[in-house]
Structure 1
């Protein structure tokens, strides 16, 4: 069982001091993929970094600027290119002159080609001023952010270590309120599992996801997160032991406990799991692996 943490006290537009060096302003964009909304983090004092400014929402832009009145925003830091994380970076830069840091997304086929629409969507125009795809650090007075490449949820996802508080801003890589959606072709479960272990090995005291409250029992939470993924893989293998099937036939059975609004995303996540198992040689397909293929146990 994943020890979810879902209790959070927010008021849209309000700036909350959540740790000695971290403030959070939450955008008014709640939904099945964003929980209560995008939590934009402000790190430091005086000269500050803004992490995941969020959707292109003028009210949220003004809330961030109000929260940093009398200060200078020098860095805009993006975990990944989804439209609930990065679009406000451009307008915030225009108002402050801050530099945008992140990792540009490589070209991928549209994830919506099977009628699946991720509620958050993609910000395919996102381009950082300075690339951190291979890692690297940015800093200001009293704070440092180290980019940790964590592909999986997206190919360009970055987490950011914050050593001053033994913390990590985990974006959508690890969230306390829900599991992370992985949608091929940009999302990749094999990459995700490797990235998950990379974060666990850092022994952070706290994770600050972009959506929802912090995760403080970090090691146990990540272990449970990984165990849940393995359980889903085992369920696929067990289901296909009864005979070949397509993803659309498996989702209602294996995700019966999940909100039906999330079943299209679950189908994409299942595809990610199946592609992982095909790479491992444990499953085979009747054609090139894809959403409409019929899958069976290999061998």
Structure 2
């Protein structure tokens, strides 16, 4: 339980470089409760989620923040445990309303429950998320969340965020600072992917260089859309599938 909120936090045992301490599943309210992101297909995790939902009077439905495997792999198995509750990837689900927050993925949704927001990977409990596309829309979506008067963010990874406006503001500033570093590198004549990563993403660990290239691609797309991209800039090759987290 989270103080002041009828919310249960169940973290899957799948820690990693991209999943941090593991993928979060959130169970909101009761009689019925509402589940956000079933998580990976790990029996011990799904059993715990199902037990929590049943203790709260059964599940009214399952909401999905986005389609990355560590968030949705356990959907079918969890549904079987709970008798097949409805599943939503957008729109409304009982008292939950989805707000588009594309950027980390094109299908990313934040689910609003009163003054609580389940952000998936749009806002993490720590650090910054890799933005694979639609950076301009992502920044606009973050600004929209910041002005909603939220009291709690429940992220897809990391701990709950009890100061939403401050956390979201820091993420916006992080992206703008990354853009400033990228523009400065371009002004100095950097044109290849490696040069731009070495300069504007010099703080990214070597193990995260490939995901960082996705964010570089999104930043270059934004500059191009704003007619601010110089000629001759090498563009990162986007992989055919989405990242895990």
Counterpart pick for 2:86 among 99, 106, 109? 99
Residues 178-189 of structure 1 aligned to structure 2 (within 5 Å): 178-183=127-132, 187-189=133-135
Shift of 1:138: 2.1
Residues 1:145 and 2:96 are matched in the alignment: yes
Aligned to 1:167: 116
Q: In 1, Cα distance between the equivalents of 2:72 and 2:127? A: 21
Count residues with an aligned counterpart. Answer: 234
Given that 2:14 and 2:21 are in contact with CA atoms closer than 8 Å, whether structure 1 keeps it comes out as yes
Aligned to 1:216: 162
Shift of 1:93: 1.4
Counterpart pick for 1:79 among 62, 65, 76? 65
Per-residue displacement from partner, 1:160-205 (whole Å, max 9, x unpaired)? 1111xx111111111121111112xxx3212211111111121211
Structure 1 unaligned residues grouped into runs of 5+: 1-16, 103-131, 293-299
Counterpart pick for 1:228 among 155, 174, 179? 174
Aligned to 1:110: none
Residues 1:35 and 2:20 are matched in the alignment: yes
Q: In 1, Cα distance between the equivalents of 2:76 and 2:87? A: 8
Given that 1:152 and 1:182 are in contact with CA atoms closer than 8 Å, whether structure 2 keeps it comes out as yes
Q: In 2, Cα distance between the equivalents of 1:92 and 1:241? A: 51
Length-normalised TM-score, structure 2: 0.90
Given that 1:207 and 1:218 are in contact with CA atoms closer than 8 Å, whether structure 2 keeps it comes out as yes
Shift of 1:290: 2.9
Given that 2:182 and 2:199 are in contact with CA atoms closer than 8 Å, whether structure 1 keeps it comes out as no
Aligned to 1:154: 105
Q: Secondary structure at 2:106's aligned position in 1?
A: coil
User: Which runs of structure 1 show a deviation greater than 3 angstroms over 4 or more consecutive aligned residues?
Assistant: none
Q: In 2, Cα distance between the equivalents of 1:290 and 1:236? A: 13
Per-residue displacement from partner, 1:88-135 (whole Å, max 9, x unpaired)? 111111222111110xxxxxxxxxxxxxxxxxxxxxxxxxxxxx2xxx
Shift of 1:51: 0.6
Per-residue displacement from partner, 1:14-46 (whole Å, max 9, x unpaired)? xxx124310011100001111100111111123
Q: In 1, Cα distance between the equivalents of 2:125 and 2:35? A: 21
Aligned to 1:291: 236
Shift of 1:159: 0.4
> Which structure is higher in helix share?
2
Given that 1:150 and 1:157 are in contact with CA atoms closer than 8 Å, whether structure 2 keeps it comes out as yes
Q: Secondary structure at 1:18's aligned position in 2?
A: coil
Shift of 1:244: 4.0
Structure 2 unaligned residues grouped into runs of 5+: 238-245
Shift of 1:258: 2.3
Q: In 2, Cα distance between the equivalents of 1:167 and 1:25? A: 17
Q: In 2, Cα distance between the equivalents of 1:93 and 1:66? A: 13
Q: In 2, Cα distance between the equivalents of 1:202 and 1:23? A: 23
Q: In 2, Cα distance between the equivalents of 1:101 and 1:246? A: 41
Q: In 2, Cα distance between the equivalents of 1:158 and 1:256? A: 30
Aligned to 1:195: 141
Q: In 2, Cα distance between the equivalents of 1:217 and 1:160? A: 17
Q: Secondary structure at 2:71's aligned position in 1?
A: coil
Q: In 1, Cα distance between the equivalents of 2:92 and 2:214? A: 33
Q: CA RMSD in A?
A: 1.7
